[in-house]
Amino acid sequence: MKTTISVIKADIGSIAGHHVVHPDTMAAANKVLAQAKKDGIIIDYYITNVGDDMELIMTHTRGELDEKVHGTAWEAFKEATKVSKELGLYAAGQDLLSDTFSGNLKGMGPGIAEMEIEERPSEPFVVYMADKTEPGAFNFPQYKMFVDPFNTPGLVIDPTMHEGFKLEILDVYEGESVTLNAPEEIYDILALIGTPSRYVIRRIYRKADGNIGTVTSIERLNLIAGKYVGKDDPVLIVRVQHGFPALGETLEAFSFPYLVPGWMRGSHYGPLMPVSQRDARATRFDGPPRLIGLGFNVKNGKLAGPSDLFDDPAFDETRRLASQIADYMRRHGPFMPHRLEPTEMEYTTLPLVLEKLKPRFKKEEGMVKAKQSIYQKESSEMD
């Protein structure tokens, strides 16, 4: 029997700003998932939230992109949205881009991460979920977990990992993907994934047997919708232990609060702060970007857990450093590099400001016009 783990998430409105999911909306989604479990569509499920994102963690045997499973998630979000609207919550139904469900949720707004696996005798896995950032934010920790021996000694000393992994990298602008080998091609890998707004690690496979190790949600809502409609807060499923990184090796990757885009108005860099479920609320300056990690085991599709992995004093120093970095970044105010570059900002009045000021710009004699504008950063004529 093959088991599929599906994590499907959406922001369907929250209390007092883009801050935290309302329990009544979770209860509405719970009703739908409980019924789907009764009807045998899913085997088990767990509902949680990080900040304003509702996260549906489901297990079943129907494979990826299954119409019934996705339909269940869609209905759960629709029912939750109804409650959200009744309560007058903020940005009710934000991530549901369409009214009609057509087979699966691809391109419809919700973020999706799914993996179909042959369960090992014991199948431990972690679901990492972030708010106020974007899918490429998981490039850095996935590299640490599966490629960097300074993070993951198992790559050196565990014979089942020693051969390395294959990374499937997606170009979210072109809609193309490439699979690269680690450790042989790490410089090529880094050349791509160091631009996380464009190149996103979608899946990682163990080289020895092709077994899947991770999957990330890759939806970039704003690219789909063509305008600002909220942030593409991502999820990452990671299988751990016995041929994959140990649980602690995956957690270690988040011990450094690295900078991610997506804070305040989707337009600022801030440190990714790992927190407990209890603290998964976006407060200061609508953040700082938050991460939770829930650990599970799955057996014949039944879930054991979760364990709230960052609810731990071992991450206090990471959080303290994240707060210091938040102070430091905030003191830049509206200046880059706290504020994102123009091409990556999700709110921007810049074109309007430029339009308004156009008649007031005067030609400067003797100054050569640049060959490209700051809006074409990825062009090959970068030099």
Residues with Cβ within 8 Å of residue 101, at least 6 apart in sequence: 70, 71, 74, 108
Q: Which of 37, 82, 188, 228 is catalytic?
A: 228
Q: 53 is in the binding site of which of Mg ion, ligand F6R, none (Cβ under 5 to 8 A by kind)?
A: Mg ion
- Which residues in 207-364 belong to E strands, given as ranges? 212-216, 235-239, 259-262, 268-271, 273-274, 290-299, 302-308
Distance CA 214, CA 292 (A): 16
- Which one of 33, 44, 52, 212 is in contact with Mg ion (CB under 5 A)? 52
The residue written with tokens 């050349």 in the block is: 191
Judged by beta carbon, residue 91 or residue 186, the one nearer ligand F6R is: 91
CB nearer to ligand F6R: pick between 18 and 206 = 18
Q: Which region holds residue 213: left if phi is over 0, alpha if psi is between -120 and 50, else beta?
A: alpha
Q: Which residues bind ligand F6R (CB under 6 A)?
A: 17-18, 91, 132, 231, 262, 264-266, 286
The stretch near Mg ion (CB under 5 A) out of 113-121, 210-218, 231-239, 364-372 is 231-239
Q: Confirm whether residue 356 is marked as ligand binding.
A: no
Q: Is 301 part of any known ligand binding site?
A: no
Tokens 């649980």 found at: 247
Mask for 1-20, x = binds Mg ion (CB under 5 A): ----------x------x--
- 219 belongs to the binding site for Mg ion (CB under 5 A): no
Q: Which is nearer to ligand F6R, 91 or 321 (CB)?
A: 91
* Alpha carbon distance 198, 190 (integer Å): 13
299 given a catalytic annotation? no
| 134 binds Mg ion, rule: CB under 5 A | no
Phi, psi of 280 (to 5 degrees): -80, 60
Residue 369's Cβ-count burial label (10 Å; 0-12, 13-18, 19+) is: exposed
53 binds Mg ion (CB under 5 A): yes
Tokens 């369960």 — which residue?
119
State the minimum distance, in angstroms, from the CB of residue 237 to ligand F6R. 22
Site residues (vs Mg ion, CB under 5 A): 11, 18, 51-53, 131, 230, 233
Could you list the residues known to form a binding site for beta-D-fructose 1,6-bisphosphate, using ranges.
Answer: 18, 90, 103-104, 132, 241-242, 265, 286, 347
